[in-house]
Structure 1
């Protein structure tokens, strides 16, 4: 639940030091902004994924093939070189009115009174703390990045460059499972664009990012490695995608997207 942040209601509220990790632990996909692609791709593959409510394409980093799991978080330590802004700012959000900060009412990361390592939201006299000011600045910048990301996705989609994928998980026992809902850059269509279209993408700074997304797919090898390093007791049982040891992940054009 999201609630409006105010000094009146949250004067003594503090955010635990591990808030970012608590949030990320249950996210196999993390939201990525346009300006974060180059940093995120150092760790994971960056795909297009659809917003659960609107169906619009977003940019996401793939941190596991198992829902509600993040392989880059092990024993309370973040294994990646970069934490996306959606992690860094949790549990704070901008409201419909960007001047109004919202707070995710998450008892795992919010406490009352002083706590070791925790960051206060307000000073004793009700002014925003340095921590809150920093997070607000990050959220304001992220709002701009959200718009830039929307424009990028809109342009790429209009050119027909988004290719929906089926991820085939080939498991060590010979079985396979399928993951749908992700998409990448259609490299074949990209190569068929006119010189004028390519120049426009280059001027917008999009062409390099499209190639970066394609290159990031090689990070799936690291995902497989981390998945297989899990102790048997931590690997999910049953029919979850990736519940067995993985041999490889094969990407194919989605059958549902192409009739």
Structure 2
């Protein structure tokens, strides 16, 4: 159950948000939506892959967090944050917040302005413990400012998402990838339905194609996706350690 409402410092003055990660809060997810605006950070710790909507044929990037259903290998209850990583994907780090739009009149014109909404039924929302949203004497707390930054990362990422994939498609960089995983326990897993960047094609692009991707800001993102695939080995190592207890 969700109940998204416009955040305000009167009605929600005493609300706090638990800024920790745990399965009980719904953080036990195998993958999360990823945005072009965070690829450079994501590629340091997570495999970035693409998935394709069968109906719209549009691509969306995801950060892979586990191997099996409802498994997030980055959850670690021994850590204060509950997260075994330096950068937390924006989709999870934002917690119960999301961007909404409010219609405002500006210079005689109607404009849609992005505003912060909160899911007041989210399991991390309460009035007893966690991070305050507003300062005692008014103004946003540092935590809410951080959330605002994360939401901008997502909003700006959504804005360039289709253009990025169109640019990748134009030079035929996207290819399907099936991943075979053999664990120390003897278990075997096969990850299907994912796409990645063809590294050989990326390296073979001519100067004009490279320049076009670079000018659009997408060349670095393509290389980030390629680099991120080495994190699949990291996931396997994390899974083997988890299985050994």
Answer whether TM exceeds 0.5 for this pair.
yes
CA contact (8 A) 2:43 2:228 kept: yes
Give the corresponding residue for 2:107: none
Q: Which moved more, 1:138-147 or 1:223-232?
A: 138-147
Is 1:84 aligned with 2:89? Answer: yes
Structure 2, unpaired ranges of 5+: 103-112
Distance 1:106 1:162, change over 3 A: farther
Q: Secondary structure of the residue that 1:214 maps to in structure 2? A: helix
Distance 1:137 1:178, change over 3 A: closer
Number of residue-to-residue matches in the alignment: 230
Which residue, out of 159, 171, 183, partners 2:171? 159
CA contact (8 A) 1:20 1:89 kept: no
1:131 CA drift (Å): 3.2
User: What are the equivalent positions in structure 2 for 1:54-93 lying under 5 Å apart?
Assistant: 56-77=58-79, 78-93=83-98
CA distance in 1, matches of 2:185, 2:114: 54
Taking structure 2 as the reference length, the TM-score comes to 0.78
Give the corresponding residue for 1:228: 240
Is 1:147 aligned with 2:159? Answer: yes
> RMSD over aligned Cα, in angstroms?
3.1
CA contact (8 A) 1:24 1:87 kept: no
1:213 CA drift (Å): 1.4
CA contact (8 A) 1:162 1:183 kept: yes
Give the corresponding residue for 2:99: 94
1:89 CA drift (Å): 1.6
Distance 1:76 1:108, change over 3 A: farther
CA distance in 2, matches of 1:204, 1:20: 38
Is 1:18 aligned with 2:23? Answer: no
CA contact (8 A) 1:20 1:87 kept: no
Which residue, out of 217, 220, 242, partners 2:229? 217
Is 1:195 aligned with 2:207? Answer: yes
CA distance in 1, matches of 2:236, 2:156: 34
User: What are the equivalent positions in structure 2 for 1:125-144 lying under 5 Å apart?
Assistant: 128-144=140-156
Give the corresponding residue for 1:111: 126
CA distance in 2, matches of 1:31, 1:69: 15
CA contact (8 A) 1:24 1:70 kept: no
Give the corresponding residue for 2:105: none
Distance 1:127 1:163, change over 3 A: same
